[in-house]
Amino acid sequence: MRRDKKAKPMQAAAAECPPMRILAIESSCDESAVAVLDAQQGLLSHTLFSQIELHRVYGGVVPELASRDHVRRLLPLLRQALHEADTDAAQLSGVAYTAGPGLVGALLVGAAVAQSYAFAQGLPTVAVHHLEGHLLAPLLEDDPPPFPHLALLVSGGHTMLIRVNGLGDYQLLGETRDDAAGEAFDKTAKLLGLPYPGGPELARLAVHGRSGVFDFPRPMLDRPGLEFSFSGLKTAVALAARAQPLDEVRRADIARGVQDAIVETLLRKTARAIEHTGLAHVVVSGGVGANLALREGLAALLRARGGRIYHPRIAFCTDNAAMIAVAGLLRLQRGEGSHDLTIRARAQWPLAELSANNVPAAPVPWSFSSFKEQA
């Protein structure tokens, strides 16, 4: 890992905020990750271990195996993150951890490690909402989005259009009624015999396929509103994949058809949300935000409307601890650190609860970008 020493304009603004440094832990699903973020210097380190190989033989995440692997990985990752950040506990202001939503066993491991470490070091903790992490991940980049903006949050478990007014003020405009976009990628990829996780694999295969050979359904487009539904795609793809021979050309054409259907649906609903809100600055975040066809489609859509797209770098689209550190640090700065020893882990945690219980939206006037490349 290497730190970028080049001064950046946003860092000047960051230097004005109070000195704080946070350690953050993410363990909501199949990635164990730890990061150290400094309010003035930006991201000092982030470490991650992906359990993809562990779950691949089962074709999906096995929750019990995920929890056990977090137990194995988190402490070495924590030591490594502190070492790479050249930080000891005395320099930390608090510890953030993902408290939900996610796999409850996996969450409990990260929460227990965070609470134990914080208790031992006399530090406050912040229980972070995983989706708030995804929403704020673009603040790690050089050119962060202005507030308010529109967010398209597309992950393995969620597909949401959100009006983001500021920290803790998230207005849900529409979400999926059934499968999430990432789930649709993963399930259809499985039907094509692609390994887990299917999203990136299907996207790779789609590059070789032809648009228009398979015209899969784009549900909910003919209805008003900003809701999504992706569950029908599986049936259509299962039928297409049944016809023999399922050779490479047909598989690639099906993959292309699936990607086109998902991306077009996301683009059309986003366009509708832009019209509805008048916001043309759009953040795309969550694992599916790594999809290049989606990024390119959104960029074109926004160019045509005089707006622009903001996204975290690919590594911070999928699950990571840097985004948890951003949310944790902003909340710590707002006085939300706690010495309560409760280990918080919620499998279900509606994003709306964050806005409902909160003090008014806080402005977020800087970005944390100062760490650009990893060796």
Whole-angstrom distance, CA of residue 147 vs CA of residue 117: 34
From the list 18-26, 154-162, 343-351, 366-374, the region that binds Zn ion by CB under 5 A is 154-162
Structure tokens at 98: 């993902």
Q: Which is nearer to Zn ion, 11 or 155 (CB)?
A: 155
257 is a site residue for ligand KG4 (CB under 6 A)? no
Site for Zn ion in 315-334 (CB under 5 A): 319
Whole-angstrom distance, CA of residue 167 vs CA of residue 147: 9
Q: Euclidean distance between the first and final Cα of the chain, in Å? A: 5
From the list 18-26, 41-49, 63-71, 153-161, the region that binds Zn ion by CB under 5 A is 153-161
- The candidate with the shortest Cα–Cα distance to 55, out of 186, 233, 192, is 186
Q: Which is nearer to ligand KG4, 34 or 118 (CB)?
A: 34
Number of shown-chain residues binding ligand KG4 (CB under 6 A): 19
Site map for ligand KG4, 232-251, x if CB under 6 A?
Answer: --------------------
Q: What CA–CA distances, in Å, run from 25 to 68, 110, 140, 208, 286?
A: 16, 6, 16, 38, 17
Q: Which is nearer to Zn ion, 108 or 290 (CB)?
A: 290
Contacts of 302 (CB under 8 A, 6+ apart): 274, 280, 282, 308, 309
Measured in degrees and rounded to the nearest 5, phi and psi for residue 164 equal -100, 105
- Beta strands per DSSP E along the chain: 21-26, 31-38, 42-50, 94-100, 125-129, 149-154, 159-166, 169-175, 281-285, 308-310
Q: Which residues pair with 81 in a beta bridge?
A: none
Site for ligand KG4 in 290-309 (CB under 6 A): 290-291
Q: Report the 10 Å Cβ neighbour count for 305.
A: 13
Q: Which is nearer to ligand KG4, 110 or 182 (CB)?
A: 182
Site map for Zn ion, 62-101, x if CB under 5 A?
Answer: ----------------------------------------
In angstroms, give the least distance from the CB of 118 to Zn ion: 23
In the chain, the amino acid numbered 258 is V
* Binding residue for ligand KG4, selected from 42, 144, 200, 297, defined by CB under 6 A: 200
Q: Which is nearer to ligand KG4, 23 or 189 (CB)?
A: 189
* Binding residue for ligand KG4, selected from 168, 286, 307, 337, defined by CB under 6 A: 286
**What angle is formed at CA 364 by the lines to CA 100 and CA 162, rounded to 5 degrees?**
55
Site for ligand KG4 in 159-188 (CB under 6 A): 182, 185-186
Which one of Zn ion, ligand KG4, none is in contact with 157 (Cβ closer than 5 to 8 A by kind)? ligand KG4
Give the residues lining the site for ligand KG4 (CB under 6 A): 29, 155-157, 182, 185-186, 197-200, 203, 286-288, 290-291, 318-319
